[in-house]
Structure 1
Amino acid sequence: MRNFEGYISSAANPRAKEWAKLLERKYREREGKFLLEGIHLVKEALDAEWPLEIVAFDEGSGVLDAFEEYLDGEQRDGPAWIPVSPEIIAKCSETGTPQPIFAVALKRPPMKESLFSGELGGLVAVLDGVQDPGNVGTILRSAAASGASAVVLGKGTADLYNPKTIRSTMGALFHVPVLEADLSSLLPEAGSHGITLIGTSLQSAQSCYDYDLSIGNAWLVFGNEGSGLSEQVSSLVDANVIIPMTGRSESLNVAMAATVLLFEAQRQRLIK
């Protein structure tokens, strides 16, 4: 049988208070855990067999009707399912009208070495100071959809485990490994392993459609929404490409640009 625990009604309950603390980054980093809000994200995590500590739900909402397939049969391992009050649901959510279910998930970042070993080799998206959670989430979705093997978040990039970022990934973080790293040390190490680092620049004359993105180990590096790649990271890339625009626009949003390049890389690799 599924592991059901007793009803928790008060937001002052010690366990509820610990869950709510995970809305703050310092507690997420200290505990190695984060919150998943809503039916879609909890289902995505369960489907991906992501390690969940608990699933808390509003018993009176009928939300478990959407989880019948996950509750049938016997289970030796897995999260504890805990009925809680709407007060606790609200305390553990950043949204104005929270869905009646959330989970506490464990962080599961890949080891840096796996990026070089061939285990996660291939196409990798690297973010240098991309600050908007929505942009980070969209890039993760595009990376997962285009077959990228990993995403690297450099310093200054929005926290992956921020509830806003988590929501904007729409569950993609369960399907593509994500590593947080210092790019000033990681990129030179990648170069020493024969990985090609490809940046984006409006000053580049090299079209992304003419550049060979089908090469084995290629990392696409995307910069901050306003200032692009930092000076330090820009000095470390092997080449810069531009997305040609025949219409009238100064530039593309970084999430749009990343999506174009990731799918162009996918197109070239499929052809090859």
Structure 2
Amino acid sequence: MRNLEPALTSLANPRVKGWAKLSERKNREKEGRFKLEGVHLVAEALASGWPLECVVFEEGMGVPEELLAYADNQPSSSSSPSWIPVSPDIIAKCVETETPQPVFAVAYRKPVDREALFAEGAGPVVVLDGVQDPGNVGTIVRSAAASGASAVVLGKGTADLYNAKTLRSTMGTLFYLPVLEADLTELLPEARRHGKTLYGTSLQATKSCYEVELGRDAWLLFGNEGSGLSPKVEELVDRPIIIPMTGKAESLNVAMAATVLLFEAQRQRMALER
């Protein structure tokens, strides 16, 4: 195995302490690094070529079978992650799940080209304004990636993308879709100047999501689970729309609503391409 480092067994090791600190958002932001817990997320990161500092695995169990090909065949270079065997108590100290899998990785945050958001004719951009639940944020990222969205923007008050719960909910799709944080009061007017149309769901809207053009240049805005879009962001909405419901329900969960609009946008794009 290339880039294999000596085993670590001490909880007092400085590297171990550094990994454990990445459980806190302030440390992730300060260092530009975050942790990926479990075989699936680590495998997706390796498959996508996402920059990793290291892959840490339990020494007694060895590298998980799903990761062996990456460990054995990766190029030997400064950009390749190191593989580090550790004791079980180090795994337990560094991961946040109650029943941890015997592997995690330390990944680098990647910069996103902000100008790419404004490309003409691109798929929709999803904008989250104060969506607080990590599971909702991760699910929306997953739906955005699955439906061919061009990016996801996280506004103020939105759950941290690199929170362990958010990362698990993305199921690794964040490695294939630009996701960035931004001040929406600055970004949304800029999007308008680039010819983008800002859509927001509203129970008072007169147009359904099936009556508007979502296939190209649409920005889809979603607000907080309880209070919706903040007043400043709501003022910037160009086209309020509603998801028609013929059954007995007052509203949809924000992740469900986002998924409905994203796949309607995909349907419209596919129709345009025929």
TM range (shorter): over 0.9
Cα shift readout 1:126-145 (whole Å, capped 9, x = no counterpart): 10110000000000000000
Q: 1:5-52: CA deviations, max 9, x gaps?
A: 000001111000001100000000000000000000000000000000
| Other-structure match for 1:42 | 42
Q: Residues 187-216 of structure 1, C-alpha deviation per residue, up to 9 Å, x if partnerless? A: 0011111111111111112100111212x3
Aligned counterpart, 2:222? 222
TM-score normalised according to structure 1 size: 0.96
What is residue 250 of structure 1 aligned with on the other side?
250
State the secondary structure of the residue aligned to 2:240: strand
- In structure 2, the CA distance between the partners of 1:185 and 1:42, relative to structure 1 (3 Å rule), is same
Which residue of 2 is the match for residue 231 of structure 1?
231
Aligned AA (1:65): E
The one-letter amino acid paired with 1:101 is V
In structure 1, the residue matched to 2:126 is 125
Runs of 4+ in 1 over 3 A off after TM superposition: none
Tell me the CA shift for residue 117 of structure 1: 4.3
> Take 1:161 and 1:61, find their aligned partners in 2: how far apart are those partners?
27
Q: Distance in 2 between matches of 1:71 and 1:90?
A: 22
2:129–2:158 contact (8 Å) kept in structure 1? yes
SS at 1:60's partner residue?
Answer: coil
Q: State the SS of the aligned residue for 2:84.
A: strand
Unaligned runs of 5+ in 1: none
**2:194 is matched with which residue?**
193
Alpha-carbon separation, structure 2, partners of 1:7 and 1:167: 27
CA–CA separation in structure 1 for the residues paired with 2:76 and 2:169: 32
> Secondary structure of 1:90's partner?
helix
- Mapped to 2, the partners of 1:2 and 1:117 lie a distance apart of 40
Give the drift of 1:73: 3.4
2-structure distance, mates of 1:62, 1:53: 19
CA distance in 2, matches of 1:155, 1:174: 22
Equivalent residue pairs, number? 270
1:163 match: 164
The whole-number CA distance in structure 2 between the counterparts of 1:16 and 1:73 is 26
Q: How does 1:141-160 map to 2 (within 5 A)?
A: 141-160=142-161
Task: Determine the C-alpha separation between the residues in 2 that align with 1:61 and 1:122.
Answer: 43
Once residues 116 and 269 of structure 2 are traced to their aligned partners in structure 1, the CA distance between those partners, rounded to angstroms, is 21
| Mapped partners of 2:125, 2:119: distance in 1 | 13
Q: Is the 8 A contact 1:109 1:178 kept in 2?
A: no
Identity between Structure 1 and Structure 2 (%): 68
CA drift at 1:76 = 2.2
Which sections of structure 2, spanning at least 5 residues, go unmatched?
none
CA–CA distance in structure 1, aligned partners of residues 264 and 176 of structure 2: 20
- Contact kept, 8 Å, 1:197 with 1:218, in 2: the verdict is yes
Are the aligned partners of 2:39 and 2:64 in contact in 1 as well (CA < 8 Å)?
no
Q: For residues 70-118 of structure 1, what are the alpha-carbon distances to aligned partners after superposition, in whole Å with 9 as ceiling and x for unaligned?
A: 1233622310000011111111111111000000000013122221245
- TM-score by length of structure 2 reads 0.95
Q: Distance in 2 between matches of 1:89 and 1:157?
A: 29
Once the two structures are superposed, the pairs formed by residues 1-272 of structure 1 within 5 Å of their partners are 2-73=2-73, 75-77=75-77, 78-118=80-120, 121-214=122-215, 216-272=216-272
Q: In the superposition, relative to structure 1, how do residues 6 and 62 fare at CA in structure 2: closer, same or farther (>3 Å)?
A: closer
